[in-house]
Structure 1
Amino acid sequence: MDILVLGGTKFVGRHIVLALLAAGHRVSVLTRGQSRDELPAEVERLQGDRNAGAAGLSALAGRSWAACVDVSGYTPGQVRASAEALQTQVGRYVFISTASVYAEPDRHPVREDDPLLPPAAEAVTEITGETYGPLKVTCEQLVQAAYGERATLLRPQIVAGPYDHTARYPYWPDRASRGGETLLPGDGTDHVQVIDARDLARFTVRVIEQGIGGVFNLAGPRLSWAEFARVLGIAQPVWIGQDALEHWHLGFAELPLFIPEHAPQGGLMDISAERAIAAGLTLTPPEGTACDTRAWSQSAALTYALTPEREAEVLRENREREN
């Protein structure tokens, strides 16, 4: 099939493009041409900018595709432009949303039918921690209104795997590779959950090939932090509780993926993917995600908020506090 990907050169989009090619499909990508492009030569490159509205999508005129995968739609203006322009040109519109759309992220587990955040106004264009979820809610509504049963909404958990320049998940396999005493958050009983980008990509291919509509959470195995440490191969964990973490001003930026079990956002580490699994989602073992991410990240020159020096300082001060 001929498939159009809006975006496609970065992390998640790149994996989707590669999965489509591996399945034998022909892929066109529409990008602004501003990101590094390491896609295979057989991918058709189209240039456009949805921020310019219909005028920015002239490269799509007169073309048709079996499906469109929207990886780069973050604001209502962007998504309205593409959803309306492609309404008669694509068979299915697959929108990559986020688990951040849920209004009650303290639920355990979070399911597709749970309440959503109030939608953002279409005039909102600034993407912040506060507007990201509401903006995606509005984008989802635009896609559903335009495509009905031809719409598929995918709500991934935090995405992990090779090419992840967000430096969230990669921190942990990179840190584990250094060995020695390793600062870990909590007491090991909280939970961590991600979705491997390659699993998301394969499921995207599946919903296109099978014509599957609807809304799907995408999440991988839910591990306790103690299990996650074992997966990473951390031999000398040093668990530091929430009060101590706050004392040293260590939060999600320094210790990515850590959300305390009973925190207001705790349900975001308990996302139910039962519906997607029933529809054919397959999951990479956590050991595979960790190993493959490390194989990529060791030459990716990522930088992390928690430096080795700062970690060593906290571990030293923690020992002094306990003695």
Structure 2
Amino acid sequence: MRLLVLGGTQFLSREVAAEAVRRGHDVVCANRGRSGSVPPGVRVVRWDRGEEPPAELTDGASYDAVVDVARHPSHVRRALAAVPEAHWVFVSTISVYADDADPAGPGAGPLRPAITEDAGATESVDAYGGMKVACEQLVLDAVPGAAVVRPGLIVGPGDPSGRFAYWARRSTATGDVLAPGAPSDVVQVIDVRDLAAWVVTLAEDRTGGVYDAVGAPLPIGDLLAACLPDANLVWVDQEFLESEGVQPWAGPDGIPVWLPRPAYDGMLAHDAAPALAAGLVTRPPAETTRDTRAWLDADPAARIAGITAEREADLLSRWGSQGF
């Protein structure tokens, strides 16, 4: 297969390119060359997607499949015009869904209004999700039989967000660790390597359809127990964390993976069965944790998000002083 990966230098798109090379495919990555390197074994075409595609990409070129992770509708329009005959696998997001409390998936969950023009650099979550809705529509309208995958929280080695790294860094902890919310709160993650392997399979098999690209939902208590098997998890309720100004999900004063309930009951609880039936294979969280920890140990520059150890200790102390 001759595969065009639009990107190929960061996290998921890089892992897609690497996986395709491992399977023996001819891989071309089109990117600006400003944000990382492509994996060995691929050919690079320079393309700033704010401009028209270079002749090197289009003149006489033929591709069996394209993988795109773009969020700007103008970028998707140019790419579809440049490579009109290939099978497409478009990587979207569960942020296209309008109701974060509702886990309903493709064909059932209402979508955000499509935003057909590019938003600015400070785009909101609504703008990001709305642009992805527009990108999905462009691909599905232009390419009969295209695949659209909507990942939830992508984790694993190389994650630039630092979210799962917050937990993987502490995988050998033996003392008290602040665990947010309730242990029964449902979450789900997907290892970047599993998602990339499935994306390549969708391209190989020319599979079509719209899928939530997610791992199986599980209680956050089970996830954290797998990530930190020797720690003493101290469960601190949502109301206390919110009263202390702790942010959910991300940020320097945040606790990653934690989301307020019931407002976000559905965001990390989508049905994985359709994706699994279509060939997605996922690994256990303990394996992802081990490999993410190894990556963190090998790369001192790797980002780790979330509250500091000092902030966590202070929160645990004051939580304990209330008699919990």
* CA distance in structure 1 between the partners assigned to 2:67 and 2:221 by the alignment: 36
CA deviation vs aligned residue, 1:260-301 (integer Å, no higher than 9, x gap): 4x4222201111122111111111112111111111122333
Alignment equivalent of 1:174, drawn from 144, 169, 177? 169
1:111 aligns with 2:102: no
Report if the CA contact (8 A) 1:161-1:197 is conserved: yes
Partner residue of 2:82? Answer: 85
Which AA in structure 2 matches 1:67?
A: A
Partner residue of 1:244? Answer: 240
* CA distance in structure 2 between the partners assigned to 1:276 and 1:222 by the alignment: 13
Partner residue of 1:270? Answer: 269
Which SS does the other structure have where 1:280 is aligned?
A: coil
Which AA in structure 2 matches 1:32?
A: R
Which AA in structure 1 matches 2:317?
A: R
Partner residue of 1:313? Answer: 314
Report if the CA contact (8 A) 1:219-1:271 is conserved: yes
1:164 aligns with 2:159: yes
* CA distance in structure 2 between the partners assigned to 1:207 and 1:156 by the alignment: 14
The change in CA–CA distance for 1:206 and 1:185 in structure 2 (over 3 A counts) is same
**Unaligned ranges ≥5, structure 1:** none
The change in CA–CA distance for 1:60 and 1:38 in structure 2 (over 3 A counts) is closer
Which AA in structure 1 matches 2:6?
A: L
The change in CA–CA distance for 1:120 and 1:23 in structure 2 (over 3 A counts) is same
* CA distance in structure 2 between the partners assigned to 1:307 and 1:65 by the alignment: 47
1:1-323 aligned within 5 A: 1-37=1-37, 39-40=39-40, 42-52=41-51, 54=52, 56-62=53-59, 63-71=61-69, 73-88=70-85, 91-107=86-102, 109-113=103-107, 114-126=109-121, 127-149=123-145, 151-232=146-227, 233-252=229-248, 253=250, 254-260=254-260, 262-300=261-299, 301=301, 302-322=303-323
Q: Per-residue deviation at 1:213?
A: 0.8
Q: Per-residue deviation at 1:110?
A: 2.5
Q: Per-residue deviation at 1:123?
A: 4.6
* CA distance in structure 2 between the partners assigned to 1:314 and 1:305 by the alignment: 13
Percent of aligned pairs with the same residue?
36
* CA distance in structure 2 between the partners assigned to 1:124 and 1:162 by the alignment: 29
Which SS does the other structure have where 1:29 is aligned?
A: strand
What value does the CA root-mean-square deviation take over the aligned residues? 1.6
Using structure 1 for the length normalisation, give the TM-score. Answer: 0.92
Higher helix share: 1
Report if the CA contact (8 A) 2:171-2:289 is conserved: no
Q: Per-residue deviation at 1:155?
A: 0.6
